[in-house]
Amino acid sequence: MKGKTFKTAGRILSICLLSLLVGTQAVAALRTGHKSTSTNTASGQDDAILDWTSKGGSKKSGPANKDLGPAPINSPPETSLKTPTPAKKTESLAKMDESDLNDLEAAVKQVRAESATVDLKSVGDFIITLRKQVTDHSDDASLRLKLGTYLYLAGDYEGAASEFRHVNRLKAQSVAGHALLARVLGEAGEPEASTLEFKRALSIAPGAEVVHYLFAHSLAARGEMSEAINEYRRAIGIKPTAAALTGLSESLIIMQDVDGAVKAARQAVSQEPNSSEAHVALTKALIQAGDIQPAIRTAREALLLNPNSSESHIAMARTLYATQKVDAAIEELKQAVSLDPLNAEARNDLGYALYNRGEVQNAVNEFRLSLRLNPRFTEARNNLEIAIFGLSGRKPRQGH
């Protein structure tokens, strides 16, 4: 963000182009970095959101490519990535406002809940309610934090950043305000400003696992994998969570440490057996390791846990493709795209499968959409080039 202006032209262009192909409902499904679909009624996640808003308290509780199969990695694997010494709980963390950290954990849990089908109309209603409350209580940092979180969920980066900056002005030592602002800035394409805010949050609470997790997620999203791995390990050293272990597993796959990825994903499943995200991560790692039958079982479990997750359907598609069931894989990927039309990975995987079934033009369309949704998606760019020019003896690259 330069000044107060966000670089949103690319985002707007992507949405407009996609709307012509998948309809306006695809745009309504836009969730920044997290997959979900809209329904006409509020889900259980909506109930949790409403509870957080109405009670005023919080309940204690990301781009790196995550694609279809093995692919060449530009960065060499690192064999000496040691687990950093966990940051100890310092006096600053002990003295910080516990409710502030609780609010941050509640906001992160809310944003990460891709398994939930949040009703966007309900989110809009909550925004209206919170705006009225903020008007009456403009100095209430907690209300502004909640409003910023909802604006972020609605895709309003600028509005969200404005509210989080208000929080930081009202409460200079707000780890939640700095951490959430950092996340928004990172997804808005301002990595340096994002890193600065993360460092401010960590200076306030160096022993806060959730801040290290958010920082790691942000680093992974912009391809800084070694740094991301270190931050994930710091988070895990403070408090092992399925989210951090899942992120670590996916980062290790990109760094070609398959054994480490499998181990981290298994720990994620052990930590949170009902997490579809953890099962998806384990499926990906097992495919990379060549353990297809266990991967199939894990993918099925992910679908049972969350049939409305596009990531679960992508995981199942990859196991099907690995067993040469291309038609079945394509159907799973179409389901994934239906659940989340703006999922760049799903469209790249679908394009790959269509190309290998001989549907080159349809594959080209999917690769183009994938690249427009994520201009930094190198595999989608390579696949599009190969599909268009039909390079002799070469096929589109599968993902990780």
C-alpha 355: how far from its chain's center?
27
Query: Residue 395 has what pLDDT?
Result: 58
* Exposed/middle/buried for residue 352 (C-beta within 10 Å: 0-12, 13-18, 19+): buried
- Contact yes or no for 145/167 (Cβ under 8 A): yes
Closest C-alpha among 323, 324, 301 to residue 312:
301
**Number of H-type helices and E-type strands within the chain:** 21, 0
The first and second tokens of residue 174, run together, are 């707000």
Overall pTM surpassing 0.85 (yes/no):
no
- The DSSP result for 23-36, as a single string, is -HHHHHT--TTS--
Domain locations in the chain as residue ranges: 38-70+97-239
Distances (CA, A) of 333 to 5, 62, 326, 341: 36, 20, 10, 11
What are the backbone angles phi and psi of residue 114, rounded to the nearest 5°? -65, -20
Which CATH entry fits the domain spanning 38-70+97-239: 3.40.718.10, 1.10.3720.10, 2.120.10.30, 1.25.40.10?
1.25.40.10
Distances (CA, A) of 285 to 18, 113, 121, 234: 31, 22, 37, 21
Residues in the chain where the model's pLDDT stays below 50: 1-95, 114-116, 391-392
Query: Residue 106 has what pLDDT?
Result: 81
